[in-house]
Amino acid sequence: MAFGESDRSFMRQALDLAEKGRGLVEPNPMVGAVVVRDGRAFAEGHYERFGGPHAEVVALRRAGEAARGATMYVTLEPCDHRGKTPPCAPLVAEAGLRRVLVATPDPTAAQPRGGIEILTRRGVEVQVGLCRDEAVRLNAAFFKLAATGRPLVIAKWAMTADGKIAARSGSSRWISSDQARQTVHQLRGRVDCVIVGSRTARLDDPLLTCRDAERRRTATRLILCGRAVPEADSQLVETAGQAPVLLACPESRPPAGLGRLVELGCEALPVAAAEAAAGRCDLAALLDELGRRRMTNVLVEGGADTLGGFFDAGLVDRVMVFVAPLIVGGADAKTAVAGAGVEDIEKAFRLRDCETLAMGPDVLIQGWVTDPLGWAP
């Protein structure tokens, strides 16, 4: 189906609007809508918060009677089912629009393309697929959760130019610059869960909270506990009343000290044990449980064994690496990703849609390990 350049421009405007909802609308998708007449956008809206009015409704309220005979550009199929609010598709149909352009169908529709069918039956001309790839990447976490029942997994670490995440003594504060650390705090403020291993929790005593004024979500802090748990006087445990702490442990062999931490406000999360690693959680089973809890984005921050475990299991979707202009050296200094690793370079994880961004003196390298387009209907 052919679309004109003006069509693409209006849909990109709708995508920019949708992005404003990141971290505020999950587990629902980010959506933007633009209403156009005679080549001019005169009303717009986006989904601003979970449970609030949908983008199409906001845009149509602003358009009023002028919506009759106009065209709407919307980044996701208007919904055909009731959730926190009534279904949008009937309201869009009743507005008298002549034409609706939809970037991509809704994988959670009550009926496949049910919203599109409602519009078509009411005589609205509907075109689907404009800027589809951009729309799917925007809502990759939503599409993955709908397709697989698991959240999107982002692996993040900071390292030196020679690939070290700490000096041989274990010293790592601070490899990355203030600008890079601020970006990480913003990221934590937009995800549902931050994951680290128990060794990292005990050695670094991190908070794993978002220290950013524009925090949009309070991420759950999840510690992978094999045979050890965080200390009772750690920052994580002492702040469990301010931000949730999950202690994921093998259900067949919970670690010593777990009960005491539950008494102090943490939550135990029994998970099936990994078949090949006694005393460790099955990471795929863990993601299944987080998906059941409607988590959409999880951030894996380390350490090296935890990152390696997620890569070895093929569970990483996206990578964010902050590279600092430092040289540490040392054969005993840790690299970022441990685990078994790949046997040869041909089997290495190759990032797609890779981009590099300057973060003060550091460089952020980010890209996809998986193809998010594979989750779209």
Give the residue numbers annotated as catalytic, written as ranges: 56
Token representation of residue 105? 């169908």
Backbone angles phi and psi of 139, in degrees to 5: -110, 35
Helices (DSSP H) in the chain: which residue ranges?
A: 5-19, 55-63, 88-94, 114-121, 132-138, 140-148, 178-188, 198-204, 235-238, 258-263, 283-292, 304-312
For residue 355, the surrounding DSSP H or E stretch is strand 352-359
Which residue type, as a one-letter code, is found at position 351? L
Confirm if 31 and 48 have CB atoms less than 8 A apart: no
Instruction: Give the whole-angstrom CA distance, residue 144 versus residue 178.
Output: 32
- Residues 6 or more apart from 171 whose CB is under 8 A from it? none
Give the side-chain half-sphere CA count within 13 A for 272: 11
Q: How many CB atoms lie within 10 A of CB 223?
A: 29
Residue with tokens 């064994």: 305
Query: Of 310, 300, 301, which is closest to residue 280 (Cα–Cα)?
Result: 310
Query: Of 36, 57, 48, which is closest to residue 100 (Cα–Cα)?
Result: 36
Backbone angles phi and psi of 28, in degrees to 5: -75, 165
Confirm if 219 and 243 have CB atoms less than 8 A apart: yes
Query: Over the Cα atoms of the chain, what is R_g?
Result: 23
- Beta-strand relationship, 352-359 and 362-368: antiparallel
Confirm if 34 and 41 have CB atoms less than 8 A apart: yes
Token representation of residue 219? 């991420």
Instruction: Give the whole-angstrom CA distance, residue 250 versus residue 256.
Output: 12
